[in-house]
Structure 1
């Protein structure tokens, strides 16, 4: 986490600088853009987590462009596979790493500190490997199908799925959700997002999803809401097992929600 936390009481930042800092922090947290966030406090962290779906939409536009350009000169599955790889590169692979670590911790059947120790191990266990394989296969298969749609629909679908994945982070950081550790990214962002920001983020992603499935304007928003309905109780389960959220849990939320939305958007029969 390339930010220096500042949790000193009574030093709240003005709304303008706080928002600017939140944008910078969101960009450096969710992409490889070399943005310097500077010193951040929990208000800035909350702004960054609330803005996560917007950063996801920007990333989704890049991935959609990659998919459509490659699909014009290569087989759909090849274009999809490269697009998945580009997505991992543009996010440093952090979300995939978080998914593997979180699933390994849950698969260990341990709780609290013991489960957190499993997450800290540098190796990836069989549960984590299986989760990575399933997620990458589903995402690649879905992108291959989307490559055959009209470019507006494909663009809307990829933007929706990528933004929805970051919406998972927004929801994981909502008020009332604790951090599993006293330090790290989870401690900085846990409980920083209010209900209004979470609701606005969900609504914005649902609106973008209207154009994701040609002839079915209802399907995209329904898929987004269904993915949220699945992710929220799963996050509650993770919090019960671990004692709160961590940076790895946020990465797992990104990949879980992204995959669920991709899957729902290609179910057209």
Structure 2
């Protein structure tokens, strides 16, 4: 379990933790423990959101919070979102779409998707009174989808890479257990702040629904999952959570 946690930290953040295990079992644990890493990402984003007493307005605080999330994750999830958008937007067969996703440049689909996601995140945080609590819930929920993306029956689109290492390693029962824990934590956080327990639960469920729909579409188009698919799902779930939590 410790090896999986260390690997999860090293894979999903810039926190300087040396992974002590890189095998398939450690990778499975890393994906299952990913919501815990969401607390690190959410805490980093919450810091600028708590700067209101220093005179900083909600909008610049929201921009700094989104920047903090990008920084602590090396912007890998954002890169995955852009790459998946380019791959799916190309309309090409699976092999060619995967080749598009591996390119170092970003195409028009990726640019537009990236901008829309970032704008939605900033706008949602700026409109949420308890934005620090909201970003914690969103960061945890975003990483919860990794368990579902790695569950049994989900194939890898490539013979190598992160997708091949973790695809199909997590049982549906384990993914459900992780979901229940996140829902309980989200409800407690929502109740403790001005978000509301029900809204927090609905935000998590909506994020999962959006992520699972995209997962289904991506696996059908590409033949399985890749590291870019994982990153895109994290960003989609994070964005959806923030948008739902920002509603009155």
Q: TM above 0.5, one fold? A: yes
How is 1:66-81 mapped onto 2 (pairs within 5 angstroms)? 66-69=48-51, 72-81=54-63
Indicate conservation of the 8 Å contact 1:156/1:208, yes or no: no
Q: Which moved more, 1:45-54 or 1:187-196?
A: 187-196
TM normalised by structure 1 equals 0.87
Any unmatched runs of 5+ in structure 1?
1-18
Indicate conservation of the 8 Å contact 1:157/1:209, yes or no: no
How is 1:23-172 mapped onto 2 (pairs within 5 angstroms)? 23-69=5-51, 72-146=54-128, 149=129, 153-172=130-149
Deviation of the 1:73 alpha carbon: 2.7
Aligned partners of 1:129, 1:246: CA distance in 2, in Å?
20
Indicate conservation of the 8 Å contact 1:49/1:169, yes or no: yes
Larger radius of gyration: 1
Mark the CA change 1:215 to 1:176 in structure 2 (over 3 Å): closer, same or farther. Answer: closer
> Residue 237 of structure 1 corresponds to which residue in structure 2?
217
Alignment of 1:206 with 2:179, yes or no, is no
Deviation of the 1:70 alpha carbon: 5.5
> Residue 204 of structure 2 corresponds to which residue in structure 1?
224
> Residue 168 of structure 2 corresponds to which residue in structure 1?
191
Aligned partners of 1:261, 1:184: CA distance in 2, in Å?
28
Any unmatched runs of 5+ in structure 2?
none
Query: Cα deviations across residues 107-146 of structure 1 (Å, max 9, x unaligned)?
Result: 0011211110010111101100010100000101111123
Indicate conservation of the 8 Å contact 1:22/1:47, yes or no: yes
Query: Cα deviations across residues 46-102 of structure 1 (Å, max 9, x unaligned)?
Result: 100000011102321221123112564311101110111111110001000000000
Deviation of the 1:195 alpha carbon: 1.7
Aligned partners of 2:87, 2:23: CA distance in 1, in Å?
29
Q: Which moved more, 1:91-100 or 1:54-63?
A: 54-63
Mark the CA change 1:71 to 1:64 in structure 2 (over 3 Å): closer, same or farther. Answer: farther
Q: Which runs of 4+ in 1 moved over 3 A?
A: none
- Give the superposed CA RMSD: 1.5
Deviation of the 1:245 alpha carbon: 0.5
Aligned partners of 1:214, 1:36: CA distance in 2, in Å?
38
- Number of matched pairs: 245
Q: Which moved more, 1:232-241 or 1:203-212?
A: 203-212
> Residue 156 of structure 2 corresponds to which residue in structure 1?
179
Indicate conservation of the 8 Å contact 1:71/1:79, yes or no: no
